[in-house]
Amino acid sequence: MAKALTKAQVADQIAKKTGVTKKIATEMINQLAQISYKEAKNSFTIPGIGKLVLVKRKARMGRNPQTGAAIKIPAKRVVKFRVAKACKDAVLG
C-alpha cells in the first residue's frame, strides 16, 4: 500500500495545478482547516469530499477490557466525518 501524502506534498500538488506558490497553497490548506474547526458545530461541508458533523453520544454501559468489570461511559459530543457520495464513487469505482 502506498504512503499517505504529507501536507507539503499536497501543497506542492495544489501549487502546480493552480499556478500559485507553495507558501500560498500551504496557507490555503491551513485556512481550510481553521474554518472547518470553527464551523464543525454547525456542520462543515467540503463539496465533493464530505462533511464534518458534531454528534451527541448517549451514556452507555461498557466493559473494562483488562478486568471485565462493567463501567459507565458518560455521554459526550464527538466530531464525525461523513464521506460524500461523489467521493465514494470516485475512489471505489
For the stretch 33-89, pLDDT in tens is: 999 999 988 899 999 999 999 999 999 999 999 999 999 999 999 999 999 999 999
The yes-or-no verdict on residue 32 having pLDDT over 80 is yes
What pLDDT shows up at residue 93? 87
CA distance 13 to 39: 26
What pLDDT shows up at residue 89? 95
Task: Quote the pTM value.
Answer: 0.76
Pair 21, 14: CB distance under 8 Å: no
What pLDDT shows up at residue 28? 95
